[in-house]
Amino acid sequence: MATKKRMLSVLGFVGAGVLALGLAGCSGGDAGDGGDSGDSGSDLTTVGFVAVGPEGGWRNANEQAIKDAFTEEAGFDLKYAPAASPTDQKSQLDAFATFVNDEVDVILLTATEASGWEDSLELAQEAEIPVILLDRGVDASDDLYVTRIAPDNVKVAGTVGDWAVETFPEGANYYVLEGVPGLSVVNERNEGFDAAIEGQDGWNKIGAQTANWTADEGKSVIETVLKENPDLQFVFAQNDEMGIGAAAAVTAAGLVPGTDVKIATIDGTTPALEALAAGDLSFVAQYNPFFGDLAVDAVNDALAGKTVEKTIVVSGETFDSPEAAQAAIDAGKGF
């Protein structure tokens, strides 16, 4: 694939980033496994995937979608390198450096943190290895990567805010359960929701706190919030797991989720759709994880020297009633 890399350099794709979705058990093995870089006489395109690894239902579905797309049958040797933990950037930086040293053809990157990637991306650029960002953005010049493939977090969170304004026309006392600090997705989801309710009367933000994407932490945070703020009316959970935890906290407080306290979430996992169908959640915005085909197209186009849009937006749906949730479950839209 060296010829393709030279072509990228000539066409201005130097330092382009490859969007990465993590997939467990990919045929190429892990980064640094002692094997070759995939150029062993075959025509397979070697793809290094700097992934997050197990983090929850959405991440599992997303990484599986990448795994299913980048197969040997499709012409790829996918090297999967999950982070040591969902917040361990050092292991990702090390895996990225290994892929550069191994001279893979493309690197897919789903970053655990937005900052701290400039030097790594510059190394990939010098090695003429395009980088594609999957899901999460990074705080670096977009000249250093090819494209970012992801649903539009601002737009998705905006649908939550629009629903909330319609549901609470006189405003509400609300709380925000945020994801892991430092991620672009957290900032973007706050931006989209805040823009939707900006200028609306009666909206009182009680507070916001990270619950690290987990149901247990979501439950713990909202239990404390309810003790101090029994007039809580609405919880915006930045992912499904935290929202499901919030619903458990509302129930434990002797209140009725969906009635006494409404809860809106983002992702669209099957457990969230089931909770919406049961009335425990009030609104679920899908953050579509199934974009392996878009990632394959971006990789192929970049290596072929074609122009690739800097942002590739993945479309999704919203579900605002038990009936809509059940229909989505029946149609297999959960994950």
Q: Which DSSP string do the residues of 157-218 spell out, in sequence order? A: HHHHHHHHHHH-TT--EEEEEE-STT-HHHHHHHHHHHHHHTT-TT-EEEEEEE-TT-HHHH
pLDDT digits (tens, 9 = 90+) for 244-256: 999 999 999 999 9
User: What pLDDT is stored for residue 183 in this prediction?
Assistant: 87
The 3-state DSSP class for residue 150 equals: strand
**pLDDT for 15 beyond 60:** no
* Whole-model pTM over 0.95: no
Q: Where in the chain is the domain with CATH 3.40.50.2300?
A: 2-145, 153-287+319-330
Length of the chain: 335
Backbone dihedral angles phi then psi of residue 319, each to the nearest 5 degrees: -135, 120
More confident residue, 36 or 138: 138
When pLDDT is averaged across residues 284-304 and rounded to a whole number, the result is: 97
Q: Residue 263 and residue 218: Cα distance in Å, rounded?
A: 12
**pLDDT for 18 beyond 70:** no
**pLDDT for 282 beyond 60:** yes
- The upper half-sphere exposure of residue 37, i.e. CA atoms within 13 Å in the direction of its Cβ, equals 14
Neighbour tally for 322: CB within 10 Å: 18
List the CATH code of the domain at 153-287+319-330: 3.40.50.2300
Q: Residue 297 and residue 29: Cα distance in Å, rounded?
A: 23
Backbone dihedral angles phi then psi of residue 113, each to the nearest 5 degrees: -135, 150
Pair type for strands 18-19 and 106-109: parallel
Name the band, by pLDDT with cuts 50, 70 and 90, for residue 5. Answer: very low
Buried b (16+ CB within 10 A) or exposed e, 117-141: beebbebbbebbbbbbbbbbbbebe
**pLDDT for 78 beyond 90:** yes
Does residue 107 contact residue 8 with C-beta atoms inside 8 Å?
no
The pLDDT mean for the chain works out to: 90
Highest mean pLDDT pick, 29-43, 178-192, 276-290: 276-290
Q: Which of 6, 305, 295 is nearest to 128 (CA)?
A: 6
pLDDT digits (tens, 9 = 90+) for 159-199: 999 999 999 999 999 999 999 998 889 999 999 999 999 99
Q: Residue 281 and residue 235: Cα distance in Å, rounded?
A: 10
**pLDDT for 330 beyond 60:** yes
Q: Residue 21 and residue 154: Cα distance in Å, rounded?
A: 20
pLDDT digits (tens, 9 = 90+) for 48-64: 999 999 988 899 999 99
DSSP 237: E
Which residues, at least 6 apart from 282, have a Cβ–Cβ distance to it below 8 Å? 167, 258, 262, 263, 264, 276, 320
The CA-to-CA distance between both ends of the chain, in Å, stands at 35
User: What pLDDT is stored for residue 256 in this prediction?
Assistant: 98
When pLDDT is averaged across residues 227-235 and rounded to a whole number, the result is: 98
Pair type for strands 283-286 and 234-237: unpaired
Task: Say yes or no: domain 2-145 is CATH 3.40.50.10320.
Answer: no
When pLDDT is averaged across residues 266-284 and rounded to a whole number, the result is: 98
Does residue 175 contact residue 236 with C-beta atoms inside 8 Å?
yes
User: What pLDDT is stored for residue 55 in this prediction?
Assistant: 87
User: What pLDDT is stored for residue 21 in this prediction?
Assistant: 34
Unique residue bearing structure tokens 């397979």: 44
Enumerate the β-bridge partners of residue 109.
19, 133
